[in-house]
Amino acid sequence: MQCGRLCSSIDVLVISKEREVAIELMPLNISVVGAGYWGKKVIREILNISQTTSQVRLYSVIDNSPTILEQCRKEFGPLNYRLNYHDLLADTAASVAHICSPNNTHFEVASRFLRSKKHVLVEKPLALRGREADELVRLADANHRVLSVGHVHRFNNGVKELKRVVDSGVLGDIYYLRFRWTGLLPPQKDRDVITDLGPHPFDICNSLLGMWPTKISCRGRGYRGEAGDEVAFITAEHLDGVNASIELSWLDMEKHRDVTVVGSDAVARLDCLDQKLILQKPNKTETMSPPPSNTLQEEIIHFADCVEQDSNSKAYTNRSDGMLGASVVRLLETSKQSLREERTVRVSLPEAEELLAGEPTQTGFRKLAN
């Protein structure tokens, strides 16, 4: 009897291990909701990742436009195309949603997937209002699901190198930062430049300084017909006296994604597009060119890693979690309030807490997520 029990226990252990390995080898089924300009980039990247690794699989593509789905069919071939996502909510094989739909749909779509116990990656911004962003964080926590936000520059090697330079002290005392996020677009009736371009500068500034601003002043306007705000100039004040100046524009014919950090001993200039960093000192200029990263690919792989670790009940660090996204949404809200009221507005964020990214968090603001 003892041998029988022992053999039975070993058999169960072997079967358990085999099941564990099988689960780990199963690709993560990702459904892309929204197949516009950015959605197509996401689809392409997921397909590329799936060809080189078994980690992810493109499960379905959802868009309410038959024309856009036909364009996808011509570009990507036969896939599981759908006009709405509702059937996926009860589909146990559809474990993950990557939401690339218009900004004003992010909360509705993300909340439905989270309530259906799906893991969710939402392109920036997480939502249009702070209370909506907080609710998504709460839903992810309550349903024990991973919630990430598309802050792709968390995976930009140029930004990582700039942070290393800032942290090293080679710039001396940091005086101020300057961001230029510009590029010509036709008039946008249902979008505004603050919501569309503002998230990345705010996120990068937080990554570099390790803090959020306390006051924001914003000026801007739309110029072409009935378009919304097309240009904005934002000044973000921080507790240590460091200011960040942010220029956002859909009117400038040159596309820029530039970050400048001015210090007492040196100035660092980063082009986030080519990920090249120039360090200017009084006696010399040095160019730093880390290997450019595929930021979108790394973001998707990082998200898949978080989901895998979460599913296996293992500790993990989510470098672009929902709390980070919710804090950025509140800065966008504050910028719009300043623009609307024509005054400097104090940022209304809950008290900071020392929390590791990826830990269960209460609704609110976290000082830093790296």
Q: Tell me the pLDDT tens digit for each residue of 113-126.
A: 999 999 999 999 99
Checking if the pLDDT of 351 tops 60, the result is no
Residue 369 identity (one-letter amino acid): A
Which is higher by pLDDT, 17 or 109? 109
User: Does 156-292 match 7-147+297-346 at the fold level?
Assistant: no
- pLDDT of 276: 97
User: Is the pLDDT confidence value at 147 over 80?
Assistant: yes
Strand order of the β-sheet with 345-346 is 285-288, 276-280, 267-271, 256-263, 174-182, 243-249, 231-237, 215-221, 345-346
Average pLDDT in the chain: 90
Q: Which of 137-151, 184-198, 267-281, 342-356 has the lowest mean pLDDT?
A: 342-356
Which parts of the chain fold into alpha helices (H)?
2-25, 37-52, 66-76, 106-115, 130-142, 157-168, 193-197, 199-209, 295-311, 322-341
pLDDT of the residue at 61: 98
Q: Which residue has the higher pLDDT, 18 or 285?
A: 285
Q: For position 67, what pLDDT does the model report?
A: 98
Answer yes or no: is pLDDT of 364 > 80. no
State residue 190's pLDDT score: 85
Locate the domains of the chain by residue range: 7-147+297-346, 156-292
- The radius of gyration computed from the CA coordinates of the chain, to the nearest angstrom, equals 22
Task: Dump pLDDT digits (tens) for 250-259.
Answer: 999 999 999 9
d(CA 353, CA 351): 7
Helix (H) or strand (E) holding 237: strand 231-237
Res 25: pLDDT:
61
Residue pair 199/151 in contact (Cβ under 8 Å)? The answer is: yes
Give 6 or 102, the one with higher predicted confidence.
102
Model confidence at 13: pLDDT above 70: no
What confidence score (pLDDT) does residue 89 get? 98
For CA atoms 221, 227, 230, 235, give the dihedral sign. Answer: positive
Would the pLDDT of 16 be above 80? no
* Predicted confidence band of residue 273 (pLDDT cuts 50, 70, 90): very high
pLDDT at 220: 97
Q: Which CATH number does 156-292 carry?
A: 3.30.360.10
Tens of pLDDT, residues 150-183: 999 999 999 999 999 999 999 999 999 999 999 9
Assess contact for 251 and 223: CB atoms under 8 A: yes
pLDDT for position 31: 98
pLDDT of residue 77: 97
The torsion angles phi and psi of 224, rounded to 5 degrees, stand at -105, 100
Higher-pLDDT residue of 126 and 6 is 126
- pLDDT, tens digit, for every residue of 19-28? 444 445 689 9
β-strand pairing of 28-33 with 96-99: parallel
Q: Indicate the pTM of the whole model.
A: 0.87
pLDDT given at position 18: 46
Fold designation for 7-147+297-346: Rossmann fold (3.40.50)
Question: Taking a C-beta distance cutoff of 8 angstroms, is the pair 200, 151 a contact?
Answer: yes
Tens of pLDDT, residues 176-221: 999 999 999 999 988 999 999 999 999 999 999 999 999 999 999 9
Mean pLDDT of 49-65: 96
Give the model's pLDDT for residue 225.
Answer: 79
